[in-house]
Amino acid sequence: MEKQILHVDVNNAFLSWTAVDMLKKGSKIDIREIPSVIGGDESRRSGIVLAKSPKAKIFGISTGETLYQARMKCPELQVFPVNYQLYKENSNKLYQLLLQYTDKIERFSVDECFLDMTDCLLGDTLLNKANEINKRVKKELGFTVNVGVAHNKLLAKMASDFSKPDKVHTLFEEEIPTKMWQLPISELFMLGRKTIPKLYNMRIKTIGQLAKTDKQLMIKKFGKHGLMMWEYANGIDNSEVQYKYEKPKGVGNSTTLPMDVNDISKLEETLLALTEQVTYRLRRYNLLANVVNVQLRTKDFEDKSHQRKLPEATSNTKEIYALAKELLHEMYIKGTPIRLIGMRVDNLVEKDELQLSLFSHTDNEKQEKIDKVVDDLKQKYGYNSITRAGKLHSEDKIKLKDM
C-alpha cells in the first residue's frame, strides 16, 4: 500500500510560542508583528539570536548572529528570553492534537512531526487532512504550521519547507521535476555544508542536476553518502515513521465525504467506520472513554456538534456507536447536505485502574470477544483488511477483504 505521510512544521516556533503566551497573558502587542527576536542574555556580547520575526528579517537580522550585531542593525529591536518549558508545553499541545489523527507520530524535533496516515484516511484524502490540521492548529493553539504532503518522509519534509508561513504543500512523485528539481542543491534535505562546494566543483548546482548525475559516479566520489544524495534528489526514501505509542487525552477522527450526503443511513455507515477506528485505538492504549462527541459540517461550512456522557466508561465499539448514532439523529436536520462527519471520545481512563461492575462485565463479555477478534485480525493483516458490514446489530456481521 502506498504510504500517506505528513510533515508538520511550526512556523518560527520559539518566537510564535512566546507571542501566543504573551497574548494570553494580556499583552497588547503581537511580537510577531514587530522587529523582535528570541535570544540569550543581551548584557553578554556572546548572546545570540535563536529566532527572529519577519519584521526583524527585513533589517537583515539572521539566526545565529550575536544580539549585539542584531541591535546594531535595528536599534529598536525587542529581545525576549528563551523559555524551554514554554516550548515543551506547546510542543506537547501540538502532539496531542496530532494524536487525534494517528498514533504513528515521529517527533523529529521540538517543533516538527512526521505523521503516518496510511491507515487513517477512511476514504478522505491526505490533502484534506493536511488542510484540516493546518486550520485547527491556528484556531485552537494560536500559532501556525506548514504541512508537507507526500508518499514518503523525505518528500513531505521537502514540501513543508516550501513557501512559508501557514501553508500546505504537496510533493508527490510526479511533481518532483517541477517543484523540486529547480531548487538549489543547498535545499536538499540532509546535505552538509561541506558537501556543497564539492558538488559545485562537479558543476552540480541544482537538485535536478544531481538527480541526473550518474549514480555510480556519486558512489565513487562520496561512498554511501553519495548514494543517499542521489536517491534523495530523485525523491527515493523508504524510511519508516519512527514512532512510539503515547497515550492521548482524547481519540477522534473525521472525514470529508467525497460528495455532499443527505441520506442519514449513509452518514450512519461512515460514523460506524469512524467509531471502529476510534475504539480500535482505545483498546490498543488499554483506555476507556467516558464521553462521546459527534461533529457535522454542512455544505455551507456550518459546524454542529453534540456530546454526551456514557453510562459508564467503555471501549466497546457497539456501545460507543449506539450513543454516537443517537447524537447524529439528534442534531441532523433531514435533507441537509453534509460534507464532513467526525466523532471523538474524551475523559479517558486507564482500563486497569477502573473498577468495572460485575453485571456490566457479564453483559459486555460477548461483545468484547468480538472486538478482540476484529482487533487481532487487523493487527495481523492490516487495519483495512476487515470491516463490519453496514450497521451493528445484536450480532456483528464481519466482512473480510482479500488478504
Catalytic residue set: 112
User: Residue 280's closest CA among 165, 383, 142?
Assistant: 383
Lookup: cell for 64: 545565529
Are β-strands 145-150 and 287-298 bridged in parallel, bridged antiparallel, or unpaired?
A: unpaired
User: Residue 392's closest CA among 337, 321, 301, 292?
Assistant: 321
Give the Cα separation of 196 and 143 in Å (integer): 34
Lookup: cell for 265: 443511513
Cβ-contact 92, 80 below 8 angstroms: no
Residues 6+ apart with CB under 8 A from 346: 249, 250, 289, 290, 291, 293, 307
Give φ, ψ of 143 to 5 degrees: -120, 175
Give the Cα separation of 403 and 393 in Å (integer): 25
Cβ-contact 345, 292 below 8 angstroms: yes
> Could you tell me how far CA 238 lies from the centroid of its own chain?
20
Burial zone of 290 (CB within 10 Å; 0-12 exposed, 13-18 middle, 19+ buried): middle
Nearest-5° angle of CA 185, CA 188, CA 194?
65
Give the Cα separation of 104 and 360 in Å (integer): 33
